[in-house]
Amino acid sequence: MKLCSKVSYGLCDYYNIAMDIVFIQGLKIDTVIGIYDWEREIRQDIVFDIEMSSDNAAAANTDNIEQTLNYHAVCDRLTEYVRNSEFQLVETLAEEVCQIILEEFGVKWVKLKLNKGEAVTGAAGVGVIIERSS
């Protein structure tokens, strides 16, 4: 049995595997999102924090970018998708982004935090945090 790092992410124990994490923090993308008429007429910045399962061993052994979960490619794909989307709910956008990561990048587990910023007076940020697996 392979062991997880000192930090347990739950799914590592469930799948009985070692799991590395590739993360993207603070990815800011502007989009049309919201339920109110005024929100449908403006673009708002959404900030993503993403953790994705990965097996980094092959990349570490070969020092070859082709063996990695390429976070630059993930950022490019998500930026293109989110900028062209027009969802009403952050829940829907978060779900769609997770599905892209799982399906297009071969990730088995993803944790995503979507922050809509100061959408509520007095709050530094609001949004959702979801975890999905394939």
Q: Which of 45, 49, 56 is nearest to 19 (CA)?
A: 56
Listed residue (108, 117, 121, 115) closest to 9, CA to CA: 108
Q: Which residues are catalytic?
A: 116
